[in-house]
Structure 1
Amino acid sequence: MPTIVRASVALLALGLVVAPDALALSKRDQAAVEALNQQMQAAEARYRDAMVKIANADPAGNADVDGALEDMEDVMAACAKQKGCSPTTMLTAYKRLLKQNADAAAGEETPDDGADDGASLAADVPEAARAAALLSADGQRFVKMVQYNPAVQAGIRRWLTDMRGPLIDTYENYQYMRQLMWPQFERAGLPEALLFGVMAKESNGKVHATSRAGAAGPLQFMYATGRRFGIGPDATGFDTRYDPRSSAQAAAEYFNERLGQLNQSIELSLAAYNGGEGRAQRVYNSTGGRNFWDESVYNQFPAETRDYVPMVIAAAWLFLHPKEYGLTFPKVDAKPALLRLSRPSSIYELTICMGNGGTRDGYMRALRNLNPRYQAESWLPAGTTLSATTRMVGLYNRWCLQGQRAELASTLVRSNASSAIVRTGPVTPLPAEDAEIEGGGVGAAGAVTTSPSVSKAKSKPAKPTSYTVQRGETLTAIARKFQCDTGDLAKANKLKAPRFAIRPGQKLKLTGCEG
């Protein structure tokens, strides 16, 4: 696609996803908006002059066209940041230019003097319009960019039968994260249905999902690819591939890069997402840019990718048309709010004391997805602020601060299974001469009992004062094992919240533990 069209499509993306500020404007803002309008008019005039030069075979025309479009992009970018500026108004200039070239293509013959750039733009207008449909904020237009064929129908059948549960789980999980993820795709001009479809196939909306191959997060980024797009371990050691907002932003950038290189094909871009961008680009180049469903293209991808592409499109299709298939997605009260802990707690404890709150599965998954830096069992000190919803905050204040349910939740999360085993003394087998029992059979032949000395109470063993961390253990698990408070144990060993990181072989002081 020529530079002119690529720039035009990018311009469309900016214009179609930003809404003007409806608030009253100050004189300063009004002046800034007027200046931007004048800059856009100047860029439009420059573009028209450049098209005349191209028609007259003036070599300076190409450079002037590129410069004019760059000016328009700069104005659109500034407009998006300027209060009171209407991108829709700014976009009118671009629409006039596009229509002008389309009309020229319909009524004029292409000159044979080598000045064909203007005609090339006109010839690419249908493709530009097709790209613009994808970049529209109207997610329904997603369906115009994909082929609805038997492979997609088979995917829909699977989502509506044995995979209906995971599809509904994905929708519910996504609703809690929507305010974090959707704006990243919206700003990039990508349809929400694409985001949902990818998430449904990749993770079912579970931010802590990790594959055997090492892909991580709700959108399953491999480590190297994630680093390319700005996600991975941060300064605190947290892997931002697990963060909904960061992963969505990276995915939006990835898809726009692929779409730009693969002729705006969603199918090929999805094939790249799953099967590798290098493979997708080689297939695209070697087949002359044919459609994903062309046999020469389709058969060059592995079976996993051939299954992945229609399954993502099928999930996206159902996201847009649930009623047509008798599919009812749950209503989720996901209005965001901050929850400040008034007392030490964990996500496990909050899940118990909040209860279901009118939901099917309660709030553990939502709390984990909204707070990916914390493990479910991590002990969080009072004053910690969690991302939640207004509904969760209300339930927390009602049930988690005091009362029977709050105490019950606290008891349950602090329970230590090992403490259920009562030590009464060593078990001693009967002497050989006492092993036979009158009337005994198979069950009695090997019977054992405790010696008389067993009934004598033994002195209680001394409390342990230290413990060596074993592989796979967490501080919370150790605190439960020795019946002590996680916060106290962390403080005694100078471990920093919220992760309380420990390592195998580390010696811990068991201050305040029962043993």
Structure 2
Amino acid sequence: MTNRTIRQRLLLSVSSTTLTALLLCVSAQSQASAPISGLANKTPSADFATTRDDRPHFWESLALEPQNAWSQLRNSFAWQDEQLSAQAQARVDKWIAYYRSSPENIATITERATPWLAWITQQINARNLPGEIALIPFIESSFDPSARSHRGAAGLWQFMPGTGDALGLIRNGQYDGRLDVVASTQAALDYIEMQADQWYEGDLSLSLAAYNAGAGRVNRAVRDAQSYGKSGQYWDLQLPDETMHYVPKLHAIATIIADPERYNVILPDIEIAPAFAKVRLRNTLTLREASKRLDVDQSILAELNPGLLNDTMNPRHGQTLLVPNEANPERMAKLALGDRNAQVATANPTTYRVERGDNLSTIAARHNLTQQHIMRLNAIERPDSLQPGQLLTLSDS
């Protein structure tokens, strides 16, 4: 059981206990206010009504935190309660001070994260990884999917060409999978998990160090630390400066995101539903044509699909076109299957936009699916977490 799962169960337990106590309290107050039979010349109902009018309604007094991408991310944090050594905490505190000294930079970077954060957090949760991993693009690329380094790294996750090739990210004159947010995110998470399992017995801090400096260098540093009688954990290692700062930076920015008011940081509003939907194409399509057929601005499609180097989607290179989640579902289905198959697209939609009053059970029944199937496809943890306007994927294809 992960720290996140344990924390969620504890929160649920505390919430249930608190709710029970509050209900008992309300019950006791109601009984105390109830009329006592046998009292002459009393109008208890009027007295009771006055008492109730003066007292806040019970359900209105339960202030629930509005759910958005930031609260979803905070709920998946797993490192915030870790007790670091004084030396390790000092390394984290150094970067907290650095980041909070320029809150405008945090505002700019988190604003740039708006299209991607909710979806990346869903992918992190689906793999049961610590939510802090979703903030790696903050460090790597400042959440710019088109970012390129002078050393040749590219994309949100800053893959070098050789690493991207090894992970199956296609790269040619028309398409660069390192710039494709969906493809590169899956590759990055695969890579982090693979290295943690292969080399570090699941230790994600060591895997992140290897993500930055290479497994060979980190493995040598682990052996060197152990030869001096140390445990060989990340905080014991002597590594290049960039890698020494890598995990402390991630701890620092996560600490600020966990409590932005404390650090005088204002985060942009980001909805809990991903900002984009995925359309799988069968035929080559230009963004100009997609713009016309979807009635979506071409510049928005270009921003969502930075991997398309000449604004053309070729299914031989990449098949998934990202479109704004407010795009018309029927138009998206027609775009995927072609106008000649419009009837099929309408009868068997691959997406569904949640409407007010919908629940997962009725949506599943309407499309002849199981709730579990929809939850798996959309990385939904709780059936009651649907939000009006949320776009659900209904098919693996």
**Amino acid of the structure 1 residue aligned with 2:148:** T
Residue in 2 that maps onto 1:202: 140
Query: Which of 180, 189, 193 is the aligned partner of 1:243?
Result: 180
Residue in 1 that maps onto 2:112: 173
1:345 Cα offset (Å): 10
SS in 2 for 1:149: helix
1:317 Cα offset (Å): 2.1
Residue in 2 that maps onto 1:341: 291
- Give the 3 Å change call, closer, same or farther, for CA 263–378 of structure 1 in structure 2: closer
Residue in 2 that maps onto 1:232: 170
1:182 Cα offset (Å): 2.8
1:258 Cα offset (Å): 2.9
2-structure distance, mates of 1:257, 1:181: 18
Residue in 1 that maps onto 2:304: 370
Contact 1:337 1:389 in 2 (8 A): yes
Residue in 1 that maps onto 2:193: 256
Query: Which of 267, 282, 293 is the aligned partner of 2:235?
Result: 293
1:311-331 deviation per Cα after TM superposition (whole angstroms, max 9, x unaligned): 122112222222332222011
- Give the 3 Å change call, closer, same or farther, for CA 248–238 of structure 1 in structure 2: same
1:278 Cα offset (Å): 0.9
1:389 Cα offset (Å): 4.1
Contact 2:169 2:177 in 1 (8 A): yes
SS in 1 for 2:154: coil
**% identity of equivalent residues:** 26
* 1:218 maps to 2:168: no
Residue in 1 that maps onto 2:129: 190
Aligned ranges 1:122-141 → 2 under 5 Å? 138-141=75-78
SS in 1 for 2:78: helix
Contact 2:132 2:250 in 1 (8 A): no
1-structure distance, mates of 2:293, 2:193: 45
Query: How many pairs align?
Result: 235
SS in 2 for 1:387: strand
**Amino acid of the structure 1 residue aligned with 2:179:** Y
1:280 Cα offset (Å): 0.7
SS in 1 for 2:158: coil
**Amino acid of the structure 2 residue aligned with 1:154:** K
1-structure distance, mates of 2:177, 2:83: 31
1:341 Cα offset (Å): 2.3
**Amino acid of the structure 2 residue aligned with 1:181:** I
1:454-494 deviation per Cα after TM superposition (whole angstroms, max 9, x unaligned): xxxxxxxxxxxxxxxxxxxxxxxxxxxxxxxxxxxxxxxxx
Residue in 2 that maps onto 1:154: 94
TM-score computed with the length of structure 2 as normaliser = 0.51
2-structure distance, mates of 1:233, 1:174: 24
1-structure distance, mates of 2:294, 2:133: 40
Contact 1:229 1:250 in 2 (8 A): yes
TM-score computed with the length of structure 1 as normaliser = 0.40
SS in 2 for 1:323: coil
Structure 2 unmatched runs, 5+: 7-72, 279-286, 314-320, 329-397
Contact 2:176 2:308 in 1 (8 A): no
Contact 2:77 2:131 in 1 (8 A): no
**Amino acid of the structure 2 residue aligned with 1:250:** A
SS in 1 for 2:128: coil
Residue in 2 that maps onto 1:307: 245
Residue in 1 that maps onto 2:390: none
**Amino acid of the structure 1 residue aligned with 2:117:** R
1:270 Cα offset (Å): 2.4
2-structure distance, mates of 1:224, 1:388: 32
- Give the 3 Å change call, closer, same or farther, for CA 141–345 of structure 1 in structure 2: closer
Question: What is the root-mean-square deviation in Å for CA atoms of aligned residues?
Answer: 3.7
Contact 1:208 1:242 in 2 (8 A): yes
The structure, 1 or 2, with the larger RCO (C-alpha pairs under 8 Å, 6+ apart) is 2
Structure number with larger C-alpha Rg = 1
Structure 1 unmatched runs, 5+: 1-11, 18-135, 352-363, 394-515
Query: Which of 250, 262, 267 is the aligned partner of 1:329?
Result: 267
- Give the 3 Å change call, closer, same or farther, for CA 337–225 of structure 1 in structure 2: closer
**Amino acid of the structure 2 residue aligned with 1:272:** A
SS in 1 for 2:114: helix
